[in-house]
Chains A and B, each alone.
Chain A
Amino acid sequence: MRRFLAGTWRWLDDRLGIFALMGPSLKHLVPHDARWWYVFGSATMLAFIVQVVTGVALAFSYTSSSSQAYETLEWITNEAPFGSFLRGLHYFGASAMVLMVGAHMAQTFLFGSYKFPREMNWTTGVLLLGFTLVMGFTGQLLRWDQTAAWSVVVAAEQAGRVPLIGNFLAQFVLGGTTIGGATLSRFFAIHVFIMPALMFMFIGIHLMLVLRHGIAEPPTAGKEVDPKTYRQEYEQLMRKTGHPFWPDGAWRDFVFGTGLIVVIALLAYFVGPPVLDKPPDPSILHADPRPDWYLLWYFALLALIPPQLEAYVMIVAPVVIGILLLAAPILNNRGERAPSRRPWSIAVVLLSVIMIGSLWIAGANSPWSPNFDPPPLTEKVIGATNGPVFEGARVFQTKGCLNCHLISGDGGRRGPDLTYIGDTLSGSDIIIRIVNGGVNMPAYGNSIKPEELTQLTAFLQSRKRPMPAGLKTTRR
């Protein structure tokens, strides 16, 4: 049997030339010290393969119709064998891909691997990062629940900010002037045909360039990249100390990749796919659209920047960042590669991680959003069961103050915590704030009755830190 299989393989290989085609690529020499830092690129590709495989499987049942997609997803999730697991794999595969592409990029940047002669490796990688994010966003939209439908509107609004052609772009995003029959199918075409085709093409180019220029050796402090001599030095190094990619270099990719697949599968099984929100009915106004985690930082950014800078952040900043990333190897393609000699590269990566991480945390908490369903203030918190303080607490809730302000841990976080406001503001100060509003607070002068204002002020004035028992005695 074994001889038969070996003979069959030899026959096939002779006719198809598989080894002649793949052999040199598999056996190409790689630096012997390119170890665990070098696994992120192959892990990204593996995550992409997971996406392709699970995406194709999901497409067997998914219907890209605005009126039916939600139902098919419900069926896939709740009834189809392995459907929920498959959706989980696709979701966590996307998450893994975003994480791995980020790690791969950070490692390449820190190791200065984007320098001569690998400038185009970096450039194609930057484009692949952009494609990955587009895939992430369009993938969320294909979930076609309430959040997805409103996310399309948010995307259209952002496209609308582009000068001169904004309205056209917004209509292109919506597939018309409103959400409707044409909206989902265009995102399906982008997510399933256009972007994957571009990604296959650029991954192919990226891999071809990796083979052409070789895997960059780990940087050594003091050893500078000189375009005149680098290629010769690299060839010498490979001849002297390099080892074949298969299997000497590849085993780590396989070990890490297997770990990645196991983690994706465990998360898909135990955590499951993202829960489907309400149906994509634009007339249901109790919606709270949020992007998936990998774009949550951008959601936070749009809430926190001053409104007058919004257009710049939405339009100019992505263009500038894109140009800077694409141009990085052109601006600096020689010299030191070691991060210890390029401390600014460490600072750039750290600052990016801190900035995105901080915004991500802010996005997850989104304190700027009103709390639409705060629990009612209890009598214990109010400290009264009748009278102006009690009535003022009722006004505080009915007038929407509790949606934006915390009282003893309950309420919204959009405005200041008013738990002890009675310690800092006098009655007249409180009245002025309520009647005239503030920088980020509505003025209630036209909508609150004098009696309600008095009660509300009484309630807020009663919000004071409890006096220590001893202090109370002393004051007496």
Chain B
Amino acid sequence: MTPEEITRRRFLEKLCVGLSAVCAAILGIPLIGFVVAPIFRKTTGKWISVGNITDYEVGKTVSVTITDPSSLPWAGITAKNALWLRRVTDAEFMAFSVNCTHLGCPVRWLQDAGLFMCPCHGGVYYSDGTVAAGPPPKPLIRYDVRTANGQVQIKTMAIPITTTTTL
């Protein structure tokens, strides 16, 4: 085998490998982009009305169902969401995410006990959302809430993810 033949064969090998890489890129880049797109899909919170101010009793915490305005058309019932809304005083409202800050399970409100309890790992929160017991690392996440034109409005948000910035 002459050096010329070797060079030609090496060239052909490299050509095949290179063409394979080009094909992989042509197919792979849009494929990966499509699959990971949700990571980069930014949704901004929108103010939505959750009823009249007078619908809520002072000192009571109730669950409120909302529909995610940014949901995909085929989301069906999964577009629904809930939050805990507390009327603290005549003018003040607090709205809490239902997701336990431990691992995201839905906390339940026990009106007479004045506590939120998590069914998964036993996290407990006081009526203002601060941690009372159990593994949650931080208080219940609060929604922005305001009153306007006699209506209570909350600003929608993503499922709060408890991140770890440092181990």
Residue positions of A touching B, CB distance < 8 A: 65-68, 149-150, 153-154, 156-158, 160-164, 166-168, 170-172, 174-184, 186, 279-289, 299, 302-303, 307, 310-312, 315-316, 368-370, 372, 398-401, 403-404, 414, 437, 439-443, 446-447
> Does any Cβ of A come within 8 Å of B166's Cβ?
yes
Q: Are B82 and A174 in contact (CB under 8 A)?
A: no
With A369-B119, A370-B122 as known contacts, state yes or no: A156 contacts B161, CB within 8 Å: yes
Q: How large is the interface on B (under 10, 10 to 19, 20 to 34, 35 or more residues)?
A: 35 or more
Contact B122 A66 (CB under 8 A): no
Interface residues of B in 29-72 (CB under 8 A from A): 35-36, 38-39, 41, 43, 63, 65-66, 68, 70-72
Chain A nearest Cβ from B40, distance in angstroms: 8
Q: Is B166 touching A163 in the complex (CB atoms < 8 A)?
A: yes
Chain A residues within an 8 Å CB radius of B126: 442, 446-447
6 new A-B contacts, CB < 8 A, other than A281-B80, A437-B133, are A158-B103, A172-B39, A280-B78, A283-B80, A307-B137, A400-B112
A66 and B65 within 8 A (CB): no
Q: Are A153 and B99 in contact (CB under 8 A)?
A: yes
Known pairs A153-B99, A154-B104, A311-B164; A178 contacts B81 (CB<8 A): yes
Alpha-carbon distance A312/B161, docked complex (angstroms): 17
- Given known pairs A398-B113, A441-B133, the reply for A177 and B158 (CB within 8 Å) is yes
Residue among A67, A178, A284, A287 with max Cβ neighbours from chain B (10 Å) = A178
A180 close to B133 (CB less than 8 A) = no
Chain B contacts with A in 146-167, Cβ cutoff 8 A:
158-159, 161-167
**CB atoms of B121 and A302 under 8 A apart:** yes
Among A153, A186, A368, A404, point to the contact of B105 (Cβ < 8 A). A153
| Inter-subunit contact A315/B167 (CB<8 Å) | yes
For A287, the chain B residues whose CB sits under 8 A away are: 105-106, 119
B80 and A282 within 8 A (CB): yes
Of B82, B110, B162, which is within 8 A of A282 by CB? Answer: B82
Interface assignment of B73: CB less than 8 Å from any CB of chain A = yes
**Complex Cα spacing A85 to B43, Å:** 42
Instruction: Give Cα A153 to B114, complex, Å.
Output: 25
Which A residues lie within 8 Å of B113 (CB)?
Answer: 398-401, 403, 447
Do residues B164 and A67 form an inter-chain contact, with CB atoms below 8 A? Answer: no
CA–CA, A285 and B158, complex, Å: 17
- From residue A370, how far is it (CB to closest CB) to chain B in Å? 5
Residue of A nearest to B125 (CB): A442
Residue of B71, B81, B115, B163 most packed against chain A (CB within 10 A): B163
- Whether B78 lies near A157 (C-beta < 8 A) is no
Are A181 and B167 CB-contacts (below 8 A) given A167-B161, A285-B63, A400-B115? Answer: no
| Contact A161-B164, Cβ < 8 Å, known A369-B119, A443-B132 | yes
Given contact pairs A153-B104, A157-B161, A282-B81, A372 touches B119 in the complex (Cβ within 8 A): yes
Complex Cα distance, B118 from A288, in Å, reads 9
Does B28 belong to the interface (CB within 8 Å)?
no
A178 to B119, CA, bound (A): 20
Whether A181 pairs with B80 at a CB distance below 8 angstroms is no
Task: Say yes or no: A174-B38 contact (C-beta < 8 A), given A281-B80, A399-B112.
Answer: yes
Structural contact, B78 and A440, CB atoms closer than 8 A: no
- Chain A residue numbers with a CB within 8 Å of B81 are 178, 282-283
Q: Which 10 A-B pairs have the closest CB atoms?
A: A67-B76, A400-B113, A181-B72, A177-B158, A442-B132, A160-B161, A181-B75, A398-B112, A283-B82, A153-B104
List the B side residues contacting A186 at CB < 8 Å.
35, 38
Q: With A283-B65, A400-B112 in contact, do A67 and B137 touch (Cβ < 8 Å)?
A: no
B85 to chain A, nearest CB (A): 13
Q: Residue A68 contacts which of B76, B103, B133 (CB distance < 8 angstroms)?
A: B76
A408 to B105, CA, bound (A): 30
Q: Do B122 and A160 have beta carbons less than 8 Å apart?
A: no
Instruction: Please pick, from A176, A288, A437, the residue contacting B41 in the complex, using a CB distance under 8 A.
Output: A176
B124 close to A (CB within 8 Å)? yes
Q: Is the CB of B164 within 8 A of A368?
A: no
Q: Nearest chain B CB to A118's CB is how many angstroms away?
A: 31
Q: Are B159 and A281 in contact (CB under 8 A)?
A: no
What residues of chain A lie closer than 8 Å to B22, measured between beta carbons? none
Known: A287-B106, A302-B103, A443-B132. A414 touches B120 (CB 8 A): no
* Residues of the A chain whose Cβ atoms lie less than 8 Å from the Cβ of B71: 178, 180-181
Q: How far is the CA of A166 from the CA of B112 in the complex (A)?
A: 37
CB B65 to nearest CB in A, in angstroms, measures 4
- For B39, list chain A residues within 8 Å (CB): 168, 171-172
How far apart are B106's CB and chain A's nearest CB, in angstroms?
Answer: 5
